[in-house]
Copies of this chain bind each other. A is one copy, B any other.
Amino acid sequence: MNIKPLGDRVVVKLVEAEEKTKAGIFLTASAQEKPQVAEVVAVGPGAHTDEGKLIPMEVKVGDKVITSKYSGTEVKVDGVEYTIVKQSDILAVVE
């Protein structure tokens, strides 16, 4: 079963704690946000400008990204947990 996000939304799967340590990324929590490392599993078509022009997406499936934790909607499909976020909640790609 596929989740196809609308507009400029992205579906991500949170990276497990062990994977995070191996990858060398350790995120600290600040008062405002608790960032997370996640992998992109689906990307929407993009949003439109006021004139109807399509704004292309900046991430692709497979990217490892840092997102703000308190945004997004959690969804569980076929036993796996995903989060649907807006692209503006993705802060950076990690390579």
Contacts and interface: CB of A to CB of B under 8 A. Distances in A.
Given A66-B75, A70-B32, A92 B49 contact: no
A71 to B, nearest CB: 8
A2 B66 CA distance: 12
Contact of A27 (B27, B68, B76, B87): B76
B84 A73 contact: no
Interface residues of A, number: 54
Contact of A91 (B1, B6, B45, B94): B6
B49 A73 contact: no
A20 to B, nearest CB: 11
Contacts of A31: 70
